[in-house]
Structure 1
Amino acid sequence: VDDFDPTAYLDEKQIRHQDLFSQYALAVTQQAFEDAELDPEALTPEQRDDIGVVMGTGVGGSNIFVDEVLNLEENGARRISPFFVPMMISNMAAGLIAMEHTLRGPNHCVVSACATGNDAITDGLLLLQQGHADAMLVGGTEASVNELCVGGFSSMRAMSTRNDEPERASRPFDEDRDGFVIAEGAGALLLETVEHARERGAPIYAEVAGVGKSNDAHHYAAPDPDGRGAALAMEKAVDDAGLDPNEVDHVNMHATSTPVGDVIESDAVKDVFGDHAYDINISATKSMTGHMLGAAGAAEAIATVLAIHEGRVPPTINVEALDEECDLNYTLHEPVDRTVGAALTNAFGFGGHNTTVAFTAFDD
């Protein structure tokens, strides 16, 4: 997020009473509805009953949490804001979206660390498949660039210390990568049944063809060294989509620019696709955006969908010399124009959570 202006989306009262992660969520919701050519104000009461929301976050209202802890220390418990709890709790972004647009369909929050965005897509897809809604606004949001969260990740030695060149610090697959660059923001997609989208003449970018989920069952923060969980999520997504592995043209990897994670994920891609892995255009868009934690999966799903829709694979930037253990086709420096019929996007999170979403070109 660069120079976010909440007044473009919210009134002053909303801004005062909402943590930044909720403000981001409401902003991208408005953008998603506009892009989908769906006007919430024009919905009938019956239509409002059948549109839901799954908006996840990895951390939730960390900014108000920091502010009110300092307030407690300085002024005592009686001065804690009555808005502290509703501003802090992770599910509030999803609830506020429903309130803002009077959407009475299924509504909940996903919290699965950095797998959150993909899990929100998964949950929205399942609700559509089970007939609980005609359309689902899904995504992830995060606003955790503050002293507490940055300090916590720094204490874990998870973040890059390339402070002299922050714009070049996120460098997945590079031999000198040293950790992720924290970022914040949000992403939202409108998922619809084919019938609902066609009936209203919606612009259709791609189809959510399948999902795959697994857990490393290994460590609270470090990925399983053998990459079995990551590979299993990709295998399940390919199978759920009814794809032959050789049909996959593009993978947007989770790749956060950590020394261990990028190698393990690259090896997992080879395990799943064999020799075809070298024909796939790989991207690591965190090289351009940084790591948005619970919002990352949603933002990267959007990038993956656009790769299919526009026939242009996004690049992996900042790579000066590839790690010798990272030898795939990483789409370095510049985008590549090619037909993308099927693509995967990976999102992996602390706790061992792995979720892969498979998108395919929509065949009308």
Structure 2
Amino acid sequence: MKRVAVTGLGAITPLGNSVAEFWDNIVAGKSGAAPITHFDAAKFKTRFACEVKGFKGEDFIEKKELRKYDLYTQYAIVATEEAIKDAGLDFAAMSQEARYDVGVIWGTGNGGIGTFEEQLQEFHAGDGTPRFNPFFIPKMIVDIAAGVLSIRFGLHGPNYATVSACASSNSAIIAAADTIRMGKATIMVTGGSEAAITPSSIGGFGASQALSKSNDNPEGASRPFDKSRDGFVAGEGAGALILEEWEHAVARGAKIYAEIIGGGMAADAYHLTGTPADGLGAKLGMARALKEAGVTPAEIAAEGYVNAHATSTPLGDIGELTGISTLFEGYNVTVTATKSMTGHLLGAAGAVESIISILSLRDGIIPGTINTNPENLDERIPENTKLVIGKSQKAQLNYVLNNTFGFGGHTASSLFKKVL
């Protein structure tokens, strides 16, 4: 199997529209939550979210092209352009034959849900005559961001979308890494995007009792592991990674952020939206990532940490910690929850949190879990899980294990290693 390097990063997030701005705010422990501005949420039970701020697609994408793309695809384009530039790649200067070996695997949970809502609203507001935008279908479908990225940059390698709810972009990253490992591509553009701060999304998640209702304190609403937690805070944005076959990256003198050394996927086979108390799916995904990498739980405990999925839901947080505790039995493992700052970016969560994991390795920093009161922790938290609460911490790191889980029981864990 070939080794896989991470050579480029790009981000559009509730905490900044570039990787540098995003990372600075993560280290500083800031929250991206605020009252919803994308639509009038006055009558909704949850009236806040972690929205992307100050983003204008027309600043990055030609007007005639912009009208063809849902916001989730716009986020994907802009984040990917940053990642490509960061990697020092110029696909336009490459021969077509060389671009045969460059592919795109992109994740999303909801695709163009905003476009879908707008078109149906327009139809039902009319006289029943079926007048639809000719770009309705290509703007809406979940695979289109992957297709648009390949078209925009002329990339002819493997190209598809992964859909595993909130595990989608972590699934994409694992699949992209596997594609390189097996020699089916030299470079892969991967990650995920989501633009689901919409009436139906907020209403639907609210109806399923998944969202926090802390409308009086949006910035403090996402508080993983706290006794008073009452649900997740919806987020949006995109994270893009350039993965590259190790020897290819070295040969061209690329900057290498980290190595992706393992990826594990599983299913808890338990419930439509809930997670089992024993965290079986989480444990299986993490164990498979470690096995693939040839890394032991002892090594993660001594030289790394787990970036937990931890969305701030009463059942999900404890189920995950139980799975972590079982896998790391006999060891004290460090755990943090960065959704306390970003909110839950749904299908884009795994990609954005992979960027956090990678920059943690680069800078030797474990971001803290904000909002959580250390005096009010859930009494069910296992003793061998050491939570990083409050401020970021300096640490000697060699590994970060990044967890994501999705409705339907999907689990995906990616394992990154520091470049020594």
Aligned residue number for residue 297 of structure 1: 350
Q: Tell me, what secondary structure is at the counterpart of 1:329? A: strand
C-alpha separation between the residues in 2 aligned to 1:65 and 1:109? 18
TM-score by length of structure 1 reads 0.97
Aligned residue number for residue 19 of structure 2: none
Aligned residue number for residue 121 of structure 2: 70
Q: Which residue identity does 2:215 align to in structure 1?
A: N
C-alpha separation between the residues in 2 aligned to 1:306 and 1:101? 26
Q: CA offsets, 1:41-92, max 9 Å, x none?
A: 2222222111100011001100010001111112234311111001000000
Structure 1: 5+ residue stretches without partners: none
Q: 1:238 to 1:3 in 2, by over 3 A?
A: same
Aligned residue number for residue 398 of structure 2: 341
Contact residue 281 and residue 313 of structure 1 kept, 8 A: no
RMSD (CA atoms): 1.1
Aligned residue number for residue 419 of structure 2: 362
C-alpha separation between the residues in 1 aligned to 2:91 and 2:296? 39
Task: Pick the structure with more helix per residue.
Answer: 1
Q: CA deviation at 1:225?
A: 2.0
C-alpha separation between the residues in 2 aligned to 1:184 and 1:153? 14
For residues 31-42 of structure 1, the aligned pairs below 5 Å read: 31-42=82-93
Greater relative contact order, per chain length (Cα 8 Å cut-off, separation 6+) = 2
C-alpha separation between the residues in 2 aligned to 1:335 and 1:300? 15
Aligned residue number for residue 58 of structure 1: 109
Q: Tell me, what secondary structure is at the counterpart of 2:225? A: coil
Aligned residue number for residue 145 of structure 1: 197
Structure 2: 5+ residue stretches without partners: 1-51
Aligned residue number for residue 7 of structure 1: 58
Q: Tell me, what secondary structure is at the counterpart of 2:358? A: helix
Q: 1:151 to 1:319 in 2, by over 3 A?
A: same
TM-score by length of structure 2 reads 0.84
Q: CA deviation at 1:95?
A: 0.5
Aligned residue number for residue 175 of structure 1: 227
Q: Which residue identity does 1:339 align to in structure 2?
A: Q
Q: Give the fraction of aligned pairs with identical amino acids, expressed as a percent.
A: 43
Aligned residue number for residue 209 of structure 1: 261
Aligned residue number for residue 40 of structure 2: none
For residues 143-292 of structure 1, the aligned pairs below 5 Å read: 143-248=195-300, 249-276=304-331, 278=332, 280-292=333-345
C-alpha separation between the residues in 1 aligned to 2:170 and 2:130? 40
For residues 315-330 of structure 1, the aligned pairs below 5 Å read: 315-320=368-373, 321-326=376-381, 327=383, 328-330=385-387
Q: Tell me, what secondary structure is at the counterpart of 2:314? A: coil
C-alpha separation between the residues in 2 aligned to 1:244 and 1:56? 29
Matched, 1:88 2:124: no
More off after superposition, 110-119 vs 10-19: 10-19
Aligned residue number for residue 103 of structure 1: 155
C-alpha separation between the residues in 2 aligned to 1:7 and 1:47? 31
Q: CA deviation at 1:286?
A: 0.4
Q: 1:109 to 1:77 in 2, by over 3 A?
A: farther
Q: CA offsets, 1:68-126, max 9 Å, x none?
A: 11111122343111110010000000010011111111110001000101100111011
Contact residue 225 and residue 372 of structure 2 kept, 8 A: yes
Q: Tell me, what secondary structure is at the counterpart of 1:325? A: coil
Q: CA deviation at 1:310?
A: 1.1
C-alpha separation between the residues in 2 aligned to 1:238 and 1:130? 19
Q: Tell me, what secondary structure is at the counterpart of 1:97? A: helix
